Structure 1
Amino acid sequence: MNAVIPREQAVRDLYAAYLADRKDIAGAMLTEDFTFSSPRDDHIDRAAYFERCWPKDPLFRAIYIEFLAVNGDEAVVRYRAEKLDGTSFANMESLRFRGDRIAAVEVYFGRNL
């Protein structure tokens, strides 16, 4: 029987998968009807999410989770990301779970650092 991963760890695992360029790991963490929203994307489906939001080549040097809170089926995370080109930015995201998988992510863009 598979152990249920605590939601805080699932959020950390999702960002680790992004940093490691592991779409396969991230894909297994998302529901089939997953949606992604940001100031640039309005409830796009998982296929569009992987096309638009996962770069073809590695983009990030590091992602630092600065704040993470989980309440029931929702998590909120603030992070700082360092890109390989030397630039960095900060964002906040809301993640909603259904069962043990992530059903939706909403990104709120922060500032360039």
Structure 2
Amino acid sequence: MSGAAAIARACYNAYAAKDRAAIEALIADDFHFISPLDNRIDRQTYFARCWPNSEKIQGFDFIRVVEDGARVFVTYELRGTEGRRFRNTEILTVRAGQIVEAEVYFGWSIPHEAPAGGFT
């Protein structure tokens, strides 16, 4: 596997396949995760906090995967095992074939909770 975009896709696919060994190989030892709920948590905390969510993931539909050097900008729609869908955007930083940082921006539910032209 080569290229930051291919590594990013492999990471999401490992979540959908519930393949812990595959994702562990893709996440660097010095990995950090940032989201509206997580302030630069380390690899161990990430796996304890985030990996259990793989059980609820059926798959990902990639809307955009844009590689910019070592960074990959990924917008996806997650398909949950119980029919739930939502959209997120993540910026992944890749070094030496592994993800060293994930910066997550939560998106919206699908269908959108607000009416077209409106707001919640």
Residue matched to 1:92: 89
Amino acid at match of 1:100: G
TM-score by length of 2: 0.86
Q: Where do 5+ consecutive residues of structure 1 fail to align? A: none
Return the offset for 1:54: 1.1
Higher helix share: 2
TM-score by length of 1: 0.91
> Residues of 2 paired with 1:57 and 1:102: CA distance?
18
Which residue of 76, 80, 105 corresponds with 1:79? Answer: 76
Q: 2:15·2:54 contact (CA, 8 Å) conserved in 1?
A: no
Residue 59 and residue 44 in structure 1: after superposition, are their counterparts in 2 closer, same or farther (change >3 A)?
same
Runs of 4 or more above 2 Å deviation: none
Q: What secondary structure does 2:18 align onto?
A: coil
Which residue of 2, 13, 18 corresponds with 2:15? Answer: 18
Output one character per residue of 1:16-62: Cα deviation in whole Å (capped at 9) or x when no partner: 00101112111111111100111110100011111111116611122
Return the offset for 1:85: 1.2
Which residue of 36, 49, 53 corresponds with 1:39? Answer: 36
> Residues of 1 paired with 2:62 and 2:98: CA distance?
20
Cα RMSD between the aligned structures? Answer: 1.3
Instruction: Find the structure with the greater CA-based Rg.
Output: 2
Residue 86 and residue 56 in structure 1: after superposition, are their counterparts in 2 closer, same or farther (change >3 A)?
closer
